Each structure stands twice: as C-alpha cells, then as structure tokens.
Structure 1
C-alpha cells in the first residue's frame, strides 16, 4: 500500500475505473467498504451519499447519484476482482 487508508475522506465526483488499484483506491478502501455495507443493508442511496460521500443530493441529485453509483461500482469491482491485485502487490512487496 502506497498511502494510508483514511477513515472518512472526501471523494471525487467520479471514482477511478480500469483494472489497476490506484492511490485514490487505497485512500478510499474504508469508503468502499462502507458503501458495500450500506448497499447490503438496503440503505437509501441519498442518506449514504450524505454520510459516506459528503454529498448533498438535495442540491444536485443527478451529480450526487453519479458520484454514489461510480463509487459503488468501484467498490464492487474491488470486492470481485481488485482484491487480487491488492494481494499481488502485498506479495511483491514482501519478496
């Protein structure tokens, strides 16, 4: 890991895409986990956006929803595929 994980960081409008773990991803691991937990619990996306992403859906619902959706998609990718890259990076650092 190149950067410390933050507990409650601000987020960009759109999460990274692609098949590589980015510095942004590393900084936002907790954010991604919180989004996955909220989704699993059936939490309202607007409430999650306010609490986890620090966004106000009342002031700009479309932009906030895109932000929430992109970060949730990234979280899902990390949980399905990206974690393998985290393990590969850790193994490489150990060698």
Structure 2
C-alpha cells in the first residue's frame, strides 16, 4: 500500500497521544521503520512508502519522510503504550 501525497502532513506531529492520523498511517510508520532498519535510502522509502515524487521536490519529500519516520520512532518507543492501554485516539 502506497500513501497518497495529499494525505500526508507537511508539519511535525507533536501530539503526546496517539491520534487518528497516527492510526490511519500505522502501516506507513511500520514500513518506514523497516526501511530505516534495512538502511534503505530515504528517497526510496519516500517514494515507495509515502508515494512522494522525490524528483519533483526533494526538499519537501525529505521533510515529509523525516517527519513521518520521527513519528514512527515515537510510536515504537512510547506511542504504542497508549494503544495497549486502550486510550482513545486524539
């Protein structure tokens, strides 16, 4: 499943709770974590996982990739606890 560019946030996700956005993008977060663990090039992950046109705007693609990878890492280290505890989203 490739994400649709228009569905992706361009700004950092600062919420301290799991949000509906996080839940909707959980699969992308997992795939980004897998790509990072495999030392995949960020451009490949941005294109294949997030559906971004890296050639058209590399700076924007890098920013969106990094924002989502950072949030994926937060989900893996802390956010998952919110889900396990059954806290409501956002």
TM-score (norm 1): 0.81
The within-5 A match list for 1:42-57 is 42-57=39-54
What is residue 3 of structure 1 aligned with on the other side?
A: none
Structure 1 unmatched ranges of 5 or more: 1-6
1:9 and 2:9 equivalent?
no
1:65 and 2:59 equivalent?
no
Q: Choose from 64, 79, 84 the match for 2:81.
A: 84
Between the aligned partners of 2:60 and 2:69, the Cα distance in structure 1 is 14
Decide which structure has the larger Cα Rg and report it.
1
> Aligned-residue CA RMSD in angstroms?
1.7
The within-5 A match list for 1:23-34 is 23-34=20-31
Report the 3-state secondary structure (helix = DSSP H, G, I; strand = E; otherwise coil) of the residue aligned with 2:76. helix
Structure 2 unmatched ranges of 5 or more: none
Question: Kindly tell me: are residues 79 and 32 of structure 1, through their superposed partners in 2, closer, same or farther at Cα, counting changes over 3 Å?
Answer: same
Between the aligned partners of 2:39 and 2:15, the Cα distance in structure 1 is 27
Number of matched residues?
A: 85
Between the aligned partners of 1:55 and 1:15, the Cα distance in structure 2 is 17
Greater RCO (Cα-Cα under 8 Å, separation 6 or more)? 2
1:36 and 2:30 equivalent?
no
